[in-house]
Amino acid sequence: MQGRTIRREIAIAAALFAAGLVLLPLAIYWVGRQVAGEYAGSGGPLGFADQIWSDFVQLEPSAWLLVLSPYVFVQLARLVKRTWRARPV
């Protein structure tokens, strides 16, 4: 049972990390383009994502926050759910 739980948590973390690394920069680019106009950097959405990936590798806190935010959000939602369930009615 314990091994299965650990594998599941690793799979969840990996999927959310991948989403933060690939999907989130593309979504931010698209929303930013709709709200603020064209991206000033070069390369379009992949150029924007590349800049985030470069910042991530260079240990920029903002890039780490962006990439890890899906995982952090899910963990906070789990914590709220667990706290909500434990509350006596």
Reading the block at residue 3, the tokens are: 């091994």
pLDDT at 17: 95
- Do the Cβ atoms of 69 and 15 come closer than 8 Å? no
pLDDT at 2: 85
Reading the block at residue 50, the tokens are: 């590349």
pLDDT at 41: 73
pLDDT at 89: 61
What residues in the chain have per-residue pLDDT under 50? none
**Burial, 26: exposed, middle or buried (Cβ in 10 Å; 0-12, 13-18, 19+)?**
middle
88 φ, ψ (degrees, to nearest 5)? -70, 145
Whether the model pTM is above 0.75: yes
